[in-house]
Structure 1
Amino acid sequence: MRTLVEIEQGMSTPSPELVADVKQLAGDVMILGVSGKMGVTLAKLLKNAMIENNLDYQVYGVARFSDPASRAELEDYGIQTIAADFLNQSEMEQLPKIKNIIFMVGYKFGATGNEPYTWAVNSYLPGRICEYFKESRIVAFSTGCVYPLVPVNAGAPSEEMAPDPLGEYAQSCLGRERIFEHFSKENGTKVSIFRLNYAIDLKYGVVSELAKTILADEAVDLTMGHVNVIWQKDACEQAIRCLFVASSPANILNITGPETLSVRWISERLGESLNKEVQFIGTEQETALLSNASKSHELFGYPQTTIREMIDITAEWLLNDGATIDKPTHFQERKGKY
């Protein structure tokens, strides 16, 4: 059984491809929203890739840091942290103007019933970021939720498909993208828009949620019958590498694994690994929220962690009482209400 330390070490060890790309880096990097589910892993990967290249640049991590533990973890790793509320004008204007920005700030869960704040964070704030960091290269995290539900048998949408978001959360995320696109053209800022769908690791994500459902002898809901997933480390590596393909106009990239995966199939494989009988409720619908990431695969290659590896190590982790994060993806949501 892998320990949490071993897993964290593996998650923060950069691939040769990432090390080779980071060799191009010119200047410090600032990660805005670093304290989220992916930010700490991303910061550590970047720091280690810099060390591999003997680069003396600084990695800054900025967030409100409501959880002091994540800030201490980053500081111990050599990441320079800054506490700031991005919607506070004076706090944001105290941030150093760094050459490379990875923007991970967003608001999703709780968006229904808190729509004004959702729009402020997801659509208004990006404009302030674009103005303040107009001379920087920016990777802007977005979501595959900007696409509509599509017929499973017709193929997932690539970047050539026009967005058609369902619900106010997804609409506000398209607003974020449009703001970055506008200022990329207006100011010549080089931008990559990072449409992610869905990142997972042992402690959270689609596979972990399904495994916990099975272990609890609860039925797996098949209403959203198909998904895309990508291992968190692979997604973080691609986010860093997106710095080097940023452009003006903005470069839009879908980021996920290569397969359209059946929720039934994932659950059955998990049942085998967990030695549990799987129960199902509902029926697979003809449509699902999917993304075609062939453009990013052409640039970066396929993600290195396969779905069968994700299934096996997630089952192993949970069977040995591995810790989890109580932040469900709500991947089953079909009406855009988060």
Structure 2
Amino acid sequence: MNSPHGLPEVIEDEAQLEELLITPSAKLIELAATLSGNLVILGAGGKMGPTLAARAQRAIDQAGAAARVVAVSRFSDPVARDWLDRRGVKTVAADLLSQDALDELPDADTVVYLVGSKFGTRQNPSHTWAVNTIAPACAMRRYPKSNFVALSTGNVYPFTPTDQRGSIESDPLAPVGEYAYAAVGRERIFDHFSRVDGTPVAMIRLNYATDLRYGVLTDLAVKVFRGETIDLTQGYFNCIWQGDANDLILRALPLADSPPRPINLTSLETFAVREVAQTFGQLMDRSVRFSGQESETALLSNASRCAELLGAPATPMDQVIRWTAHWVSQDAPLLGKPTHFEVRDGAF
């Protein structure tokens, strides 16, 4: 049975989930028809990369376009590479910190840049800085004439009052913690090469994609299901269905500009941890335990510009909440990679 939005009422297994995540929108297929040459996706082996690459390839195939997706990663997880190969995506293994390795990659008309490092920053900050600053420099040197969409993060912003709509793209960057500083460093590298070489870049500041196996909603649902206490200090958040995030990232390609154009990518709504947790409790027939009180500030982004340029996310988050409750209560597979969205000191 489908919802009024044409979406399934529940998602039963990973095959159904992945099919939903890689099905392109009509607008993405329309954009794909204009593409030619290689669409190179750097960092395609992470949490978002495989489904983004497969979604792009399917859009190209359905549009009958003269383009091809090339998914590039170290592919330390061979499962991700095999998953992409089976879906007709060309894969290339490469060390994205090596200029020599990037120089061997195929030429590209368009590049989607997904490389980043966040978790483990406290233990190994130099690695985080290397991945977030050296890798983009290598990519921009390799592809100075290509159109880029580069993934950044809402962590480049300061915390904002929870009774407002969050940071907008023109706000000064004021990162909290070393990971966030390194994320600003990544943006500065893109900005530098964009200005020097005229390379167009759309800088996507993403706040919390979720796909049932991971994400803020999954973190909360798991805690509710297991009867764990939920800390309310970080009491509000934004998030977006990963399928919508991937679709909008790809559709941002025509918005690339020099100097880079920043775009916040997340939900138009702000969600309250307390309310979402209580909803999960009702859906999963669990009591909910809280500790602490909501702070007056949170890490929030205002995605109005994205909605004006590309349209609002297509998937209602109340539907994603219901999907997540069913998924977690059925003991379906999880990635075991918590977002740590509750962290307020920037130490990841």
Query: Which interval holds the TM-score relative to the shorter structure?
Result: over 0.9
Paired with 1:294 and 1:254, the residues of 2 have a C-alpha distance of 8
Which residue in the other structure is 2:235 paired with?
Answer: 225
Deviation at 1:58, TM superposition (A): 1.4
Alignment of 1:137 onto 2:112: no
2:244 to 230, 234, 237: 234
Aligned partner of 2:170 in structure 1 is 160
Matches of 1:27 and 1:279 in 2, distance apart? Answer: 53
Q: Look up the equivalent residue of 2:42 and give its one-letter code.
A: L
Distance in 2 (alpha carbons) for counterparts of 1:94 and 1:15:
33
User: What is the alpha-carbon distance in structure 1 between the residues aligned to residue 230 and residue 248 of structure 2?
Assistant: 31
Q: CA deviation at 1:246?
A: 0.6
Match of 2:76 in 1: 66
- The SS at the match of 1:57 is strand
One-letter identity of the residue aligned with 2:276: I
Correspondences of 1:266-305 after superposition (within 5 Å): 266-305=276-315
Corresponding residue number in structure 2 for 1:258 = 268
Q: Distance in 1 between matches of 2:80 and 2:272?
A: 34
Q: How does 1:187-198 map to 2 (within 5 A)?
A: 187-198=197-208
Query: SS in structure 2 opposite 1:153?
Result: coil
Q: For residues 119-176 of structure 1, what are the alpha-carbon distances to aligned partners after superposition, in whole Å with 9 as ceiling and x for unaligned?
A: 1110122122111110111111100000011111233111011110011110111111
Tell me which of 94, 109, 119 is aligned to 1:109: 119
1:202 aligns with 2:212: yes
d(CA) in 2 for partners of 1:197, 1:320: 27
* Residue 323 (structure 2) aligns with: 313
**AA at the equivalent of 1:280:** F
Taking the aligned partners of 1:89 and 1:183, their CA distance within structure 2 comes to: 15
* TM-score w.r.t. length of structure 1: 0.98
- Who is 2:159 aligned against? 149
TM-score (ref. length: structure 2): 0.95
- SS state at 1:28 partner: strand
Which consecutive residues of structure 1, in runs of 5 or more, have no partner in the other structure? none
In structure 1, C-alpha distance between the alignment counterparts of 2:32 and 2:43, rounded to whole Å: 21
Aligned identity (percent) is: 42
Count of residue correspondences: 338
Contact 2:191–2:259 (CA<8 Å) still a contact in 1?
A: yes
Match of 2:45 in 1: 35
Cα displacement (A) at 1:56: 3.2
In structure 2, the partner of 1:328 is: 338
Deviating 4+ runs (over 6 angstroms) = none
Does residue 26 of the first structure (1) align with residue 16 of the second (2)?
Answer: no
How far residue 27 of structure 1 moved from its aligned partner, in angstroms, is 2.1
User: Deviation string for 1:76-127 (max 9, x for gaps)?
Assistant: 1111111111112322221122111111010100011211111111012212
- Distance (whole Å) between structure 1 residues aligned to residue 102 and residue 32 of structure 2: 27
SS across alignment from 1:154: coil
Aligned residue identity for 1:243: L
What 5-or-longer segments of structure 2 have no aligned partner? 1-9
Counterpart residue identity of residue 333, structure 1: V
Distance 1:319 1:117 in 2: 37
- Report the 3-state secondary structure (helix = DSSP H, G, I; strand = E; otherwise coil) of the residue aligned with 1:82: strand
**Match in the other structure for 1:7:** 17
Q: Is the 8 A contact 2:115 2:135 kept in 1?
A: no
Question: Matches of 1:26 and 1:54 in 2, distance apart?
Answer: 11
- How many Å separate the matches in 2 of 1:197 and 1:295? 14
